Amino acid sequence: METTSSWKAHGGTQGVYRHASSATGTDMHFAVYVPPHDKGAKLPVLWYLSGLTCTHANVMEKGEYRAACAKHGIIFVAPDTSPRGDDVADDDSYDLGQGAGMYVDATETPWAPHYRMRTYVEDELPGLIGDVFPADMTRQSITGHSMGGHGALTVGLRNPERFRSLSAFSPIVTTIGAPWGRKSLTAYLGGDEAAWRPYDACALIADGARHPHIRIEQGGDDEFLAEQLRTGVLRDVCAELGQDITIHLRPGYDHSYYFISSFMADHIAWHAERLKV
């Protein structure tokens, strides 16, 4: 692992790192904020998965999480959204290919060799974080935005024993029922929708997945709400099947980081309560 940049912030360290990923077969970048802490202390971890077209840098520069993480003593980890490089398959559209990994392990040509973001986020990167940083890997939570909100919900629902709490900003709650999801899952996984279900939060809950702590933040003026995000579908599935969920619809807010940064500290405080020893 190589440190590519590092800054002091709120008494802690904001770093950006690069390593050779065995999951993706490429170099991968990720950002980690480590708050001030006593020598030898082990700190809980909050994962943040980013949305379409983003890298680790979007939340690092716009998310306004460091003060809250320093206050609550939480390590904040932000991976990239896909493998990248000249030899990595791509597409001219913004919602497929590099920057749009959808947190799946692709099985279809030409995506399968490198697009293994599920394995990267669930297995490989957590191992690295636990080895290198002062992280208590028995205390993890996860959040994300848009495509990354879909990632946070699905990763968390597939691994409820690992993540103490799940939250999302403007998530794609049903990839099977949204154009963004259907396009990417068809490309990455093929046409059999049964193979898509582990990557759809509503389908996972319908198939029996449960988690005791789920929170959604959604802007009421989000231009993608009706067609792509479909928060109401998740609300209805949870109500029908008895899955507790807290959904905040915030009037006047859109899909941007102005929205995310407005409620980031609230989400970190909410996760902090559930990450206590």
Which residues does the annotation mark as catalytic? 146, 222, 255
Kind and range of the H or E run holding 258: helix 257-274
Place of tokens 């399968």: 112
Asked if 12 and 66 count as a contact pair (C-beta separation under 8 A), the reply is yes
Asked if 43 and 34 count as a contact pair (C-beta separation under 8 A), the reply is yes
**Could you give the C-alpha distances from 37 to 11, 13, 219, in angstroms and in order?**
9, 11, 34
User: First and final CA of the chain: distance in angstroms?
Assistant: 29
Place of tokens 């205390």: 139
**Could you give the C-alpha distances from 22 to 28, 216, 236, in angstroms and in order?**
10, 33, 39
Asked if 153 and 166 count as a contact pair (C-beta separation under 8 A), the reply is yes
CA distance 211 to 189: 26
Asked if 46 and 141 count as a contact pair (C-beta separation under 8 A), the reply is yes
